[in-house]
Structure 1
């Protein structure tokens, strides 16, 4: 009985060299299963990350679109204001050009300034006095202006009419000929 015990004692240590086909097949299936599970988990994680990225990008795109829209509205509003202010400036500039402010002691009528000088003298002296002040003798070009001048002059006054170039041919100081209407 002693010899039998020794044989059975060695039985536990002995392993077969070739595994049985049934054991090998389940090991390959388990290995493939682990591989596919890893691939599925990796693809699932990648899908979740792509979805999070897509949601984030769409959020930023939406905010950017709103920001661009708001900036476009601001731009349009400012362009309208600039246009309105430009028109107002042009209008005021034209108004300022037509409205002359006359120096002190001068009279204003129909966008022109008039000064009745206290000095007396010749026509040439009166014209020199006017030119020294940055003006000239008056050119009467409307019945209203003639009426105004006759009302504001107390004494005789020189006007910008002469016949110096040719005796009997009357011209105003601006070069226009006298027309009687």
Structure 2
């Protein structure tokens, strides 16, 4: 609705009413002394009569209502209008905050990456050190090959002689071959040598024990004491100054390898058993 149009309509109606009303002199005089006059009423002469007054009041009220509605509408329009500058500023701040958060996250991830890389390197170093201590280098050794007439058992070669000598001469002969009279520690070794010996009426062979230094204190040719042993029952008995040991294998099948040691005088002539250890770096050659 147009405010100017409404005002002109009201003014027209008011002029028409003025033209039609009687002369002011015919109406009773109402002095306005002591009363303030509203500016609007000063603009328009105050009509006489209750009907005209009511109509003027209605027009003024309508004009005020229209003005008030217009003011409210304009205020609401500018209040609800979006402020482009504020929204742009807010969006920029949001973007800057997002960029800062992403930068902080990237920096944190890089720190964690460096930490994990260092832990990986430490674990690899520990693993390498552990593998170095637990996995020593494998040394490939050539297989042991014994000369002719020598027999291999574990890491030693053994010779069963065909010639007879007393115990001291047998010891010297073995040493001349880079060996010694046999030293027997285990039942397996004893059984291996026993199986190499031929059966006979009283086949006996010197090996490397003696109590020549102290009676009943048997020692190996390398000076170590004899512990246990594979003596026949009742042996050693030192029957006639018997200070050297030998192995006996007869035709009696009841005799067994682990009970076949006897003592005898060292001056007896018997065949003998030599042993040569074939450890790392040992030569397989036997002096002739």
Higher-RCO chain (CA-CA 8 Å, sequence separation at least 6): 2
Larger fraction in strand: 2
Structure having the higher Rg: 2
Larger fraction in helix: 1
Q: TM-score range by the shorter chain?
A: 0.3 to 0.5
